[in-house]
């Protein structure tokens, strides 16, 4: 269990974390979501005592991390997979970490096997791909067989097979009753991995709820309608209690009536309908709705044709 | 929370003694020390060049006419060491700066949140190895130089009073400079900056020798390499501190640097 109680962190004038409180419980994979710069890494660094909070406390299993003796038996962390000395082999890298916490050599071999690195264990890590470094970071986090595990963006650099593998790995760790906190800036990734989500933006807590609930409470359902007699259709729809938002290109976005009801209504009045598209807001949209206000670095969209262009992932410019 | 079903088994979680934890950290740092190439390169430079250099200096001394200005027969060994000190200082700086540079320091401090213990372990490993290397170099240089000087007016025997202590002290100089490197690596957290600072601390005070007398001696007596010369010379300079006091000055430099590092290391985010 990880508990944050009113944690704030300032870097000079910049407020990185603002009165952040949440609890991460065992037995679940908890997703820790937020746009780049939201404060995810800073939060994790405070939990393991690398950064000192300006105010507030962070506890692991009820104790401050920097008070723990042999902490790797309590908490395993992967912050940055590339934080390695390139000239050292994976085995000696792990051996040095293991030694610092009184962990034996056989456990080093064990975690190398668990993460599929046995065959390359005696190579210098400078030759490793990012995916292999992620596996090595995972191996290091598992050395002490800890009940609490934290991973910062562990999916970066993994191939499709690796991503599937790591998802199952997290679920298995949670199923063993461990506390698993996994950060990501990709909602889609977390939707597949996490049972519970903690969403932050600009250092503030935006949501802390089960994944399913977050989707249900933020998802929007609407219908995209195109018709040559749009103006007439709008008055008919609003008379039935629907909310209609005309789009710049002449399309109508209708909420409050489903596609069948809209189609029947149009047919009853002899109005031709050229498009009738039920739309379900994706999880990504729900996430963008939550964090849209709190994104620090907005990209701009390249100029696009008047019609709906493809929406580029990761550029929440709404 | 009572629902945690896995976790450390009780035997393993039993609080280990301070001695056991110290041994763990020393083992960790020793593994890191011996598992990268830079260790062997810097040590090779620190050991090989001074022995060769002392042979050259001794040859030059031997070639000088007997009536020339008297020189200290132990000077070849010491002069050559002044090149090795940079190599071991780099070794010391790297012990921290390479971890700060790569971000590995976060793994290190997450595994050992008592950061001063990490500083102590790194200092112990680097200090011990460089002390051994330093003594090897000091005695090898002494014998190499004396094998050349023996036939001339500058030959001295190891059994002569003052000689064993001076040669031993020359070996300590490498350890002292390596420890200053460790401390500066922890303070500056950057390889190039740490090396520059180490060179500054170790070599730059020699500039005070250019000051007009008596200030060259008054300030110079506290300079690291001048103190080292007092301790390692057969005939100490009269205008500097006595050898015993110079030894204190020599040891005070790394002590002060490590003290500063131990204060800063717990205060900063990493």
Distance in angstroms (rounded) separating the CA atoms of residues B105 and B116: 13
- pLDDT(B14) > 80: no
- The average pLDDT across B168-175 equals 94
Give the residue carrying structure tokens 């971890």.
B99
Q: Per DSSP, what are the bridge partners of residue A179?
A: A148
Pairing state between β A75-78 and A204-210: unpaired
Is residue B113 within 8 Å of residue A65, measured between CB atoms? Answer: yes
- Within 10 A of B207 (CB to CB), how many other CB atoms are there? 12
Distance in angstroms (rounded) separating the CA atoms of residues B250 and B263: 21
B235, B239, B245, B251: CA torsion to nearest 10: -90
Pairing state between β A29-33 and A179-184: parallel
E strands, chain B, are none
- pLDDT(B203) > 90: no
- A112: nearest Cα among A151, A143, A83: A143
State the pTM of this model.
0.85
Distance in angstroms (rounded) separating the CA atoms of residues B230 and B222: 11
**Domains of chain A with bracketed CATH:** 2-216 (3.40.50.300), 221-280 (3.30.70)
- Tell which of B107, B118, B265, B268 to mutate to test the A interface (max A CBs under 10 Å): B107
Q: Which member of A66, A140, A179 has the closest CB to residue B107?
A: A140
- Cα angle for residues B192, B110, B176 (degrees, 5° grid): 40
B108–A100 CB contact, under 8 Å: yes
- Could you write out the DSSP letters of every residue in B126-188? HHHHHHHHHHHHHHHHHHHHHHHHTTSTT---TTSTTHHHHHHHHHHHHHHHHHHHHHHHHHH
pLDDT digit string (tens) for A140-158? 999 999 999 999 999 988 8
- Could you write out the DSSP letters of every residue in chain A? -EEEEEEEEEETTEEEEEEEEEEE-TTSEEEEE--TTSSHHHHHHHHTTSS--SEEEEEETTB-GGG-SSGGGTEEEES-TT-S-TTSBHHHHHHHHHHHTT--HHHHHHHHHHTT-GGGTTSBGGG--HHHHHHHHHHHHHTT--SEEEEESTTTT--HHHHHHHHHHHHHHHHTT-EEEEEES-HHHHHHH-SEEEEEETTEEEEEEEHHHHHHHH--EEEEEE-TTHHHHHHHHHHTT-EEEE-TTS-EEEESS-HHHHHHHHHHTT---SEEEEEE--HHHHHHHHHGGG-SS---PPP--SS-PPPPTT----
The tens place of each residue's pLDDT in chain A, 318 residues long, gives: 999 999 999 999 999 999 999 999 999 999 999 988 899 999 999 999 999 999 999 999 999 999 999 999 999 999 999 999 999 999 999 999 999 999 999 999 999 999 999 999 999 999 999 999 999 999 999 999 999 999 999 998 889 999 999 999 999 999 999 999 999 988 888 888 999 999 999 899 999 999 888 877 776 678 999 999 999 999 999 999 899 989 888 899 998 888 999 999 999 999 999 999 988 766 677 777 777 766 766 676 676 554 444 444 444 433
- Cα angle for residues B134, B139, B142 (degrees, 5° grid): 120
* Residues 6 or more apart in contact with residue B46 via CB below 8 angstroms: B84, B87, B88, B91, B130, B133, B137, B174
Joined tokens for residue B165: 């202590």
A71–B7 CB contact, under 8 Å: no
DSSP code for B206 = G
Go through chain A and tell me how many residues it has: 318
Distance in angstroms (rounded) separating the CA atoms of residues A33 and A197: 7
> A-chain residues within 8 Å CB-CB of B27?
99-100
- B266: nearest Cα among B186, B172, B163: B186
* Residues 6 or more apart in contact with residue A188 via CB below 8 angstroms: A282, A283, A284
Task: Find the residue in B nearest to A52 (Cα).
Answer: B269
pLDDT at A46 (0 to 100): 98
> A-chain residues within 8 Å CB-CB of B103?
79-80, 82-83
Helix-strand-coil percent breakdown of chain B, rounded to 5?
75, 0, 25
* Residues 6 or more apart in contact with residue A157 via CB below 8 angstroms: A81, A129, A130, A131, A133, A134
Q: Which member of B35, B104, B111 has the closest CB to residue A100?
A: B111
Q: Per DSSP, what are the bridge partners of residue A10?
A: A15
> A-chain residues within 8 Å CB-CB of B110?
48-50, 71-72, 75, 77, 79
Q: How confident is the model at residue B162 (pLDDT cuts 50, 70, 90)?
A: confident
Q: Which member of A51, A68, A177 has the closest CB to residue B3?
A: A177
B270–A177 CB contact, under 8 Å: no
pLDDT at B70 (0 to 100): 62
How many CA atoms are closer than 13 Å to the CA of A34, on its beta-carbon side?
28
Phi and psi, residue A282, nearest 5°: -75, 165
* Residues 6 or more apart in contact with residue A270 via CB below 8 angstroms: none
Q: Which residue has the higher pLDDT, A123 or B236?
A: A123
pLDDT at A109 (0 to 100): 98
pLDDT digit string (tens) for B97-132? 999 999 999 999 999 999 999 999 999 999 999 999
Q: How confident is the model at residue B215 (pLDDT cuts 50, 70, 90)?
A: confident
- Tell which of A100, A150, A174 to mutate to test the B interface (max B CBs under 10 Å): A100
Q: Which member of B16, B104, B111 has the closest CB to residue A84?
A: B104
């Amino acid at each position: 269990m990880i508990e944050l109680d009113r944690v704030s962190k300032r870097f000079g004038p910049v407020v990185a974390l603002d009165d952040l409180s949440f609890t991460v419980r065992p037995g679940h994979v908890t997703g820790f979501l937020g746009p780049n710069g939201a404060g995810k890494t800073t939060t994790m660094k405070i939990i393991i005592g690398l950064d000192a909070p300006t105010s507030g406390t962070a506890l692991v299993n009820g104790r401050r991390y920097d008070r723990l003796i042999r902490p790797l038996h309590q908490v395993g962390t992967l912050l940055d997979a590339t934080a390695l000395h390139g000239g050292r082999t994976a085995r000696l890298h792990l051996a040095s970490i293991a030694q610092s916490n009184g962990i034996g050599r056989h456990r080093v071999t064990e975690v190398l096997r668990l993460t599929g690195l046995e065959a390359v264990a005696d190579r210098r890590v400078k030759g490793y791909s990012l995916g292999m470094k992620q596996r090595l970071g995972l191996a290091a986090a598992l050395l002490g067989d800890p009940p609490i595990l934290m991973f910062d963006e562990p999916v970066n650099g993994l191939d499709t097979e690796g991503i599937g593998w790591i998802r199952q790995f997290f679920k298995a760790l949670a199923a063993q009753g461990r506390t698993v906190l996994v950060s990501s800036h990709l909602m889609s990734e977390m939707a597949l991995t996490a049972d519970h989500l903690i969403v932050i933006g600009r250092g503030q807590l935006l949501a802390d709820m089960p994944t399913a609930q977050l989707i249900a409470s933020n998802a929007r359902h609407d219908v995209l309608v195109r018709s040559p007699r749009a103006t007439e259709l709008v008055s008919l729809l609003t008379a039935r209690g629907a909310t209609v938002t005309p789009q710049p290109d002449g399309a109508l976005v209708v909420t409050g009536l489903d596609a069948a009801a809209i189609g029947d209504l149009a047919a009853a009045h002899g109005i031709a309908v050229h498009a009738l598209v039920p739309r379900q807001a994706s999880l990504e949209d729900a996430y963008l709705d939550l964090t849209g206000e709190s994104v620090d670095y907005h990209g701009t969209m390249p100029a696009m044709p008047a019609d709906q262009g493809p929406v580029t992932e990761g550029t929440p410019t709404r | 929370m009572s629902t945690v079903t896995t976790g450390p088994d009780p035997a393993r979680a039993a609080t280990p003694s301070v001695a056991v934890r110290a041994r763990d950290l020393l083992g960790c740092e020793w593994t890191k020390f011996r598992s990268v190439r830079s260790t062997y390169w810097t040590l090779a430079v620190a050991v090989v060049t001074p022995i060769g250099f002392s042979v050259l200096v001794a040859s030059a001394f031997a070639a000088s006419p007997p009536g020339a200005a008297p020189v200290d027969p132990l000077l070849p060994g010491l002069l050559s060491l002044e090149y090795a000190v940079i190599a071991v200082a780099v070794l010391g700086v790297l012990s921290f700066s390479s971890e700060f540079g790569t971000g590995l320091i976060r793994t290190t401090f997450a595994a050992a949140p008592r950061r001063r213990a990490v500083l102590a372990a790194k200092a112990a490993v680097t200090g011990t190895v460089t002390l051994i290397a330093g003594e090897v170099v000091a005695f090898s240089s002494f014998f190499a130089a004396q094998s050349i000087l023996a036939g001339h007016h500058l030959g001295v025997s190891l059994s002569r009073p003052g000689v064993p202590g001076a040669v031993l002290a020359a070996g300590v100089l490498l350890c002292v400079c390596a420890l200053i490197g460790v401390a500066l690596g922890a303070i500056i957290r950057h390889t190039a900056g740490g090396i520059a600072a180490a060179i500054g601390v170790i070599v730059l005070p020699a500039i005070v020798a250019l000051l007009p007398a008596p200030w060259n001696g008054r300030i110079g007596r506290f300079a690291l390499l001048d103190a080292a010369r007092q301790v390692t010379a057969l005939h100490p300079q009269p205008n500097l501190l006595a050898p015993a006091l110079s030894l204190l000055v020599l040891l005070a430099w790394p002590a002060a640097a490590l003290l500063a590092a131990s204060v800063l290391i717990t205060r900063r985010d990493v």
